[in-house]
Amino acid sequence: MRNFIKAAGRLFGSASPEDDHAKGLKAHERKDYKTALDAWLAAAGAGHADAQYRLGRLYDLGQGVVRNAVDAVGWYRQAAEQGHGEAQARLAEIYYYGCGQPKGIVPSDEALSVLFPNGLKIEQDYKEALRWACAAAEGGVVGAQAMLGYMYASGFGIEPDYAAAERWYRTAADQGNAAAQLGLGTLLAGGYAGTSDPAAAHQWFRKAAEQNNVMAWYYIGTQYAGGLGVEQDYAEAADWFRKAAEAGAAAAQRALGLLYARGLGVSADPQMAETWLRKAAVQGDAEAMFQLGHLNSRGGGMQPNLFDAATWYRAAGELGHREAQKIIAQMYFAGSGVPRDEMEAVRWLERAAGQGDPQAQLRVGALYAEGRGVTRDYDRALDWFRRAADQGNTDAVYNIGMLHSLGLGVPRDPVGAIQWLERAASQGSVQAQFRLGAAYASGDGVAQDYAAAVEWSRKAAEQGHAGAMVNLGRFRMQGLGGERDIPEAIRLLTSAADQKEAAAMTALGELHGHWSDHKDFVQARAWLERAAALGEGRAKTLLERIPAPAPSNESERNGVGLSRAAGEG
């Protein structure tokens, strides 16, 4: 019956949806988009799914019509709801990445708002993207299977599911899809779905590379450079990087530039290094910009150029490279390659800190506490220290303790300070260990406990902290927190004195002049004089209590005794 109706339609001049669809295909092959549009509109109006999909493509590509993602999605959706796999796959892509309006289109143009009442832009919608990708993948569309693998692996908009990612990647990879082969190799190399298997990853990268997948060339180069799944071979790595670099892959251009900079697999050549790094940088590769900053600041066989180094560091920093932001900040602090400008330096450090860099957060907190480059603000200092401390930065934990101890930015809280210092000390902070030792000795914020003072002071002293050596030396000298041990006290205090620690010299003067069982006023005076010369007030006071040694007789005062003794010898 259906064939009869189609035949009758042809007899009386009307075309079937199939005929209109076929007419559109032929017109499209001739690039006669107007005829194709009219034919597919007729077929699509009759519910022909592929004609609806083809109309979506015309609007998607701007063929015979003004390019408009909204109209494209409208036609794709009609086809997709009838189970058209390619339409479903394209819908998934559009919703996943979003689609902006064509260049040159002004949203406020009244004529355009009349022509396109639904707008010209599609916002990202991960939920819709996942729905249509699943439909297309389950319908056997290989590209959608690869995309679904990517969606589950990347976790953008959905929870990462590496097992599902591997399953869909493998399904598409086994059918020869290069993107899926690359994705599967990446999962295996990183061990995302289990144990890392770089050797298996290499095989999948090879399959994708055979299909001229540029990123597969780059990943193979990375494997040879790192000896991952293959024997390390920088020359082989350079060949693969070059292949990808010449095809325009920025990551490969950067990698090849670094090999030239370091002379790995190729002869060291700073000019070639600069050439390839610049190619990557021009494409917006922030790491390449950062490396160009290094190349220009260190020279590496070229004349160092701090101005150019600063330019590249700044460019990388503008793209969010945290290490570049910290370096350009330091350059502004030092006036190296740029004018000295502490306010600008703080601005760059705050950008790195705002991205979560704990060292930058620590430094910014210290700058607010010092009032350097910014108005002193202990509240803001405390906030930055807390952010760094939350990431395990021990110095920030210590600084918070000190702010509580001194009552800066918070009410003075010796007990709270001890808690912060203990946290920092347990993480290995030498300064915190020293402060805890002093706090337990003085009873500031904690019950006085010389045994605990000795324990914390020893931890800091063993790491070379001169102040802790002085305190521990005094404890040993006086028998606080343990037995008196004069030899140990002398060892500790002498070690600190060797670091030009005036308090250690004063303590040695006290030891020899008072605490030792065998007093030596000459030694005592010598140490106190050294401490006094360094401005130690206590040493000056103690010196007044030790009389200067008097010569035994007049001849010794005139130096005769020394000459006679020498002669007698």
DSSP conformational letter for 533? H
More confident residue, 522 or 102: 522
- Helix 85-97 × helix 69-80 angle, to 10°: 140
Could you please report the per-residue DSSP string of 129-151?
HHHHHHHHHHTT-HHHHHHHHHH
Q: Indicate the average pLDDT of the chain.
A: 90
Name the residue among 464, 390, 463, 449 with its Cα closest to residue 418: 449
- Identify the pLDDT of residue 117: 45
What distance lies between CA 513 and its chain's CA centroid? 56
Separation between Cα atoms, residue 333 and residue 328, nearest integer Å: 9
User: pLDDT per residue over 36-49, tens digit each?
Assistant: 999 999 999 999 99
More confident residue, 397 or 114: 397
214-229 average pLDDT score: 98
Please tell me the least confidently modeled range out of 179-188, 389-398, 499-508, 515-524.
515-524
pLDDT at 112 over 50: no
- Identify the pLDDT of residue 116: 43
- Identify the pLDDT of residue 546: 79
φ, ψ (nearest 5 deg) of residue 243: -60, -45
Kindly indicate the confidence band of residue 120, based on its pLDDT and cuts at 50, 70 and 90.
Answer: low
pLDDT at 14 over 90: no
- Assessment of whether the complete model's pTM goes beyond 0.85: no
User: pLDDT per residue over 176-219, tens digit each?
Assistant: 999 999 999 999 999 997 899 999 999 999 999 999 999 999 99
* b/e map 217-236, b = 16+ CB within 10 Å: bbbbbbbbbeebbbeeebeb
- Identify the pLDDT of residue 302: 76
pLDDT at 549 over 70: no
Cα distances from 460 to residues 206, 445, 448, 466, 469, in angstroms, run 54, 20, 19, 9, 8
End-to-end CA distance of the chain: 141
* Helix extents (H) in 355-465: 358-370, 378-390, 394-406, 414-426, 430-442, 450-462
CA torsion, ordered 396, 397, 403, 405, to nearest 10 deg: -150
Give the sign of the dihedral formed by CA 389, CA 395, CA 396, CA 398.
Answer: positive
315-325 average pLDDT score: 98
Q: In this structure, which amino acid lies at residue 407?
A: G
pLDDT at 408 over 60: yes
User: pLDDT per residue over 507-518, tens digit each?
Assistant: 999 999 999 989
